[in-house]
Structure 1
Amino acid sequence: MNKLVVITGVTRGLGREMVERFHEAGWTVAGCGRSEKEVQRLRQQFGDQHHFSVVDVSVMEQVEKWAEETKAAVGVPDLLINNASIINRNSPVIGLAANEFSRVMDINVNGVFYVIRAFLPFMVQRAKGGVVVNISSYWGRYGEAFLSPYCASKFAIEGLTQSLAAELPEGMAAVTLDPGGSIDTSMLRSCSPEDVDTAPNPVEWSHVAVPYIISLGPKDNGKSLTCPPVRKRTN
C-alpha cells in the first residue's frame, strides 16, 4: 500500500535529498518550500507522482491552505516531517537585533506548530496511526556560543515534541531527530565552516536517515533520537 510523507523545507539541503530517498522507497511525497523556482524544478522532475507547494511555514494561513490542498490532492500523511528551519548569523546574544531572533523563532518554532496544528487533526481522525518527526539538532540539547536563536528554537522543539507525545492517542508517535552531527549544508557553511571538510553531504546522510525514519513507530513516542552515524565517502 502506498504511503504518504509530508516534508517541509524540500527545496534544498536535507529536505531535498529526503524527497529522493522517499521517492525511491515508493512513498508519495507532499513537500513545501519558499522558493517558487525550486518548487517548480521539483514539479518538473517528478511530474504528478508527488505534490509540491510554495509555502512559508511561518505564515499560518499559508500552512492551513496547504494542509487542505494536500489532503484533497494526495490524502492524509502517514508520516509528517518538520524539517524547514533557518539559522542566525553568528553573533553574541547582546549583538543580535530583535528581528533576527524573531525570524528564527517564527520559522523554526511557530512554523512547526502551524504544520502540526494543520495536519495532525487529519492524522488523528483517520485513526490509523502516524508519526510526527520534528528535526532537532545537537544544538537543541546543548547550547552553543553565538547561535542563541537557533539553539533556543531547537530546545523549544524538544519541549513541544515531548508535550505533543504525551497528548497523542495510542498507536501514534511524535519524536525529535538530531541529524547526527555536522552535515555539509548551507547552514553548516554559515555557522561552522571549519567542520565542512569532514562532514558528510546531504545525499550520504539521506541514505542512512530515511530508512531510519521509516522504521519509527509507536514504540518511539516521546523520544529524543539521533540519526545513526553517517560516514563521509572519500575518493
Structure 2
Amino acid sequence: MSGTVLITGTTSGFGAAAARRFAGAGWKVVGTGRRQERLDEMRKELGDCFHGAAFDVTDEAATIAAIEALPAGFGEIDVLVNNAGLALGTKPVPATKLSDWKTMIETNVTGLVTITHHLIPKLIERRGVIVNLSSVASTWPYPGGNVYGGTKAFVRQFSLGLRSDLHGKGVRVTSIEPGLCESEFTLVRTGGDKEAYDKLYGGAHALQPEDIAETVFWVATQPPHVNVNALEIMPVTQSWAPFQVARDV
C-alpha cells in the first residue's frame, strides 16, 4: 500500500520521523511547517517524493492557500497526520501566561480542526485515513499540564466524534496518545532549558520519534476494514503516580 500523506509539523520530532518512514515505504509526502529552511533540508534528503509547504497552522488563510496550491501529484491526499502541536510552560495555573494558553489552543485545537475540515471532502472521496496526535495527557492529568492536557483531550474526543460523523464513509480515524518521548517538544516547552531537558530524559529510556512514526505508519496502513480508535503508548519506564492528597498540618 502506498499513496500520498500530508503530515503537519514535519520540521522536527514526530513529524520529521513520520515523513522519513512514509517516504521510505514509497509514499509521496506533503510536509508542512513554519521553518522553510528545514523543509528544504528534508526535500534534499527525501527527494522528489517530498513536497514542503511552509505555513503556520494557526493562520487559516495560509493553511487553505497552501493546500489549494499543492502541485500535481501531491493533491490527492490519502492520509492526514495531524501532528503539529506544542506545549508552553510547566508551571501551575496561578503562574501561567494567558498568551501561552491561547497559543496552545490555537495550534493544538484550532489549527488541527481547520486543516481537517478543509480536507474532509477529499478524504471521504478517497476513503482515507486521519491520524491525530493526542497525548497520554488527554486522559492522565499532571501538575503543569493544565491547558495542554485540555487541548489533547479535545483531540481525542474530536477523533472519536469524527469516527461517528463519518460512519459509513469508509474514512478511518485514530487518536495516537504518546507518553514520555524525547524530542524538541520539551525544549520548546521549557523555553530552551537544556538542563530541564536532560533532567527529564536522563536514564528514562524514553520513547523516540521513530517509535511514534512507526506507530503512525502501522495505523495508516492497516487493511481498509480495520480502524484503531485510540492507541496509548508509553515507555516501559513510565506508568502512573499515586493520587495527590493535600493534608492539614
TM-score, normalised to structure 2's length? 0.82
Matching residue of 2:184: 186
Matched, 1:99 2:99: yes
C-alpha distance in 2 between matches for 1:25 and 1:117: 27
- Please report how far the alpha carbon of residue 108 of structure 1 lies from its aligned counterpart in structure 2 after TM superposition: 0.4
Among 232, 238, 241, which residue is 1:226 paired with?
232
Matching residue of 1:28: 28
The correspondence of residues 194-213 of structure 1 with structure 2, limited to 5 A, is 194-197=199-202, 198=204, 199-213=206-220
Matching residue of 1:140: 138
User: Which amino acid counterpart does residue 158 of structure 2 have in structure 1?
Assistant: L
Q: Structure 2 vs 1, CA of residues 58 and 216 (structure 1 numbering), >3 Å: closer, same or farther?
A: farther
Q: Assess if the C-alpha contact under 8 Å between 2:10 and 2:16 holds in 1.
A: yes
Give ranges in structure 2 of 5+ residues lacking alignment. 191-195, 238-249
Give ranges in structure 1 of 5+ residues lacking alignment. none
Secondary structure class of the residue paired with 1:74: coil
The correspondence of residues 47-126 of structure 1 with structure 2, limited to 5 A, is 47-70=47-70, 72-124=72-124, 126=125
Matching residue of 2:173: 174
C-alpha distance in 1 between matches for 2:23 and 2:236: 20
Q: Assess if the C-alpha contact under 8 Å between 1:63 and 1:118 holds in 2.
A: no
What is the count of residue pairs matched by the alignment? 227
C-alpha distance in 2 between matches for 1:146 and 1:229: 21
Q: Assess if the C-alpha contact under 8 Å between 1:209 and 1:228 holds in 2.
A: no
Matching residue of 2:240: none
Q: Structure 2 vs 1, CA of residues 183 and 201 (structure 1 numbering), >3 Å: closer, same or farther?
A: same
TM-score, normalised to structure 1's length? 0.87
Matched, 1:18 2:13: no
Secondary structure class of the residue paired with 1:220: coil
- Please report how far the alpha carbon of residue 227 of structure 1 lies from its aligned counterpart in structure 2 after TM superposition: 4.4
Secondary structure class of the residue paired with 2:81: strand
Higher alpha-carbon Rg: 2
- Please report how far the alpha carbon of residue 166 of structure 1 lies from its aligned counterpart in structure 2 after TM superposition: 1.0
C-alpha distance in 2 between matches for 1:163 and 1:186: 30
More helix by share: 1
Percent identity between the two aligned chains? 24
C-alpha distance in 2 between matches for 1:11 and 1:18: 11
Among 155, 158, 175, which residue is 1:157 paired with?
155
Secondary structure class of the residue paired with 2:226: helix
Q: Assess if the C-alpha contact under 8 Å between 1:7 and 1:15 holds in 2.
A: yes
Q: Assess if the C-alpha contact under 8 Å between 1:209 and 1:227 holds in 2.
A: no
CA deviations 1:29-88 (Å, max 9, x no partner) are 111001111111112223322211101011111111122123755132111100000101
